[in-house]
Amino acid sequence: MTAKIRVAIAGASGVTGSSITNALLEDSDKFEVTALARPSSVNKPEYTKHAKRGAIITPVELKASSDLLVQAVVGMDVVISCMTLQQLDQEMALIEAVHTAGVGRYVPSWFGPCCPPRGVMLLRDMKEDILDHIKRLYLPYTAIDVGWWYQLSLPPLPSGKLDIKVEYSTTKIIGDGNTPWAVTDNRDIGKYVARIIADPRTLNKTVFLHGEVHTQNELWEILEKTSGESIPREYVSKEDLLKIITEAQAEISKGDMGRPAMASLGMAQYKYMLGIRGDNTLKHARYLGYLNAKELYPDVIVTPFQKYVEDVFHGRVKAAYS
């Protein structure tokens, strides 16, 4: 019997964190799972659920130069961050602690679409800052990107049957809707991550995982067939997006780093990158040096987009973030 792989997760209560925590807990012969939770968040229902399924919940503040934080990660084989970029200071503190503790592998909070390192999306630039910090420390790492999410890909239905929260979704067709990009079911992320973090081939590499590759026009057609409804096409053009980006950048350059300006910039840059530049494809991931999870783990079965749409339409899963 080999020893279990000891994994600690920061941000286990979030969408990506839950997907990963669930997948690791399902393989309890292989993994011992610890959720690092702020003391004030320990009683969140997500942590209670993870604990019932066998996760250790460790209350700890993620702050710099904290012995308690180092103690919380000492002896871990893998530490995974699923925090948001609003928690960048906490992630940097976690990285320092992981370095001090001599953890075997750190997985930073990437988990987004494939995109060149700098100058395309501010959010990606911040992720590169995290990776640069990791590299200056020669900390063993694996950075994982996951494409765009099934859960953010559907427009609302005219009948009102799907209650999609529009703010963070690609609910309008970008450009002509014919640019393909990689999409992934949130629920499948954990399955791949469980394989990636136990694999010596992925050490000090970036890995790209995804479910399927589609254009928006294809996604709309799948939803129309499944629902039997005709969905009016709403479009957002390159020029619309550039205008939003320029205005938000102007606000931010004046020192407004508040949520509205940052969210506005972030979503417009996501859309521009996905639908106009077309970065989020397998071809580009290969160019950018990512390993392809489908090639590494051909036996992993992902949820087809068609199946996800049926699940949502028939109420078997919630339309995410709704």
- Looking at residues 77 to 116 of the shown chain, list those that interact with a second copy (rule: CB under 8 A): 116
Which C-beta is closer to a second copy: that of 166 or that of 203? Answer: 203
Residue with tokens 């409804």: 229
- Shortest separation between residue 181's beta carbon and a second copy, angstroms: 15
Binding mask 192-231 for a second copy (x = CB under 8 A): ------------xx--------------------------
Distance CA 215, CA 263 (A): 24
Decide if residue 238 touches a second copy (CB under 8 A). no
Nearer to a second copy, 235 or 287 (CB): 287
- Which 3 state secondary structure label does DSSP give 148? strand
Within 132-161, the residues that bind a second copy by CB under 8 A are 132-133, 135-136, 138
Q: What are phi and psi of 119, to 5 degrees?
A: 90, 5
CB of 134 to a second copy, least distance (A): 9
Q: How far is the CB of 131 from a second copy (least distance, A)?
A: 8
Name the E strands within the chain. Answer: 5-10, 31-37, 56-59, 78-81, 105-107, 142-145, 148-149, 173-174, 181-184, 205-208, 212-214, 235-236, 291-292
CB of 279 to a second copy, least distance (A): 9
Provide, rounded to whole angstroms, the least separation between the CB of residue 153 and a second copy: 24
Confirm if 160 and 317 have CB atoms less than 8 A apart.
no
Among 44, 52, 127, 283, the active-site one is 127
Number of H helices, E strands in the chain: 12, 13
Task: Pick from 289, 299, 314, 315 the residue near a second copy by CB under 8 A.
Answer: 289
Angle between helices 88-101 and 122-136 (to 10 degrees): 20
Neighbour order of strands in the sheet with 142-145: 142-145, 205-208, 291-292
E strand or H helix at 37, and its extent? Answer: strand 31-37
Q: Which stretch binds a second copy (CB under 8 A): 42-50, 82-90, 130-138, 244-252?
A: 130-138
Binding a second copy (rule: CB under 8 A), the pick from 65, 89, 118, 259 is 118
Count of residues interacting with a second copy (CB under 8 A): 17
Strands 142-145 vs 105-107: parallel, antiparallel or unpaired: unpaired
Which one among 39, 54, 75, 117 touches a second copy, defined by CB under 8 A?
117
Choices 20-28, 224-232, 233-241, 287-295 (CB under 8 A): range interacting with a second copy: 287-295
Query: Is 172 marked active-site?
Result: no
Contacts of 301 (CB under 8 A, 6+ apart): none
To the nearest 10°, report the CA torsion of 270, 273, 274, 276. Answer: 130
153, two tokens? 């890909």
Q: What is the spatial distance between Cα 246 and Cα 225, in angstroms, rounded to a whole number?
A: 38
Question: Shortest approach of a second copy to residue 110 CB, angstroms?
Answer: 16
- Residue 302 DSSP SS3: coil
Nearer to a second copy, 25 or 95 (CB): 95
Of 43 and 204, nearer to a second copy (C-beta) is 204
Please provide the size of the chain in residues.
322
In the complex, the residues that contact a second copy under the rule CB under 8 A are: 116-120, 129, 132-133, 135-136, 138, 204-205, 284, 287-289
- Residues marked active site are found at 127
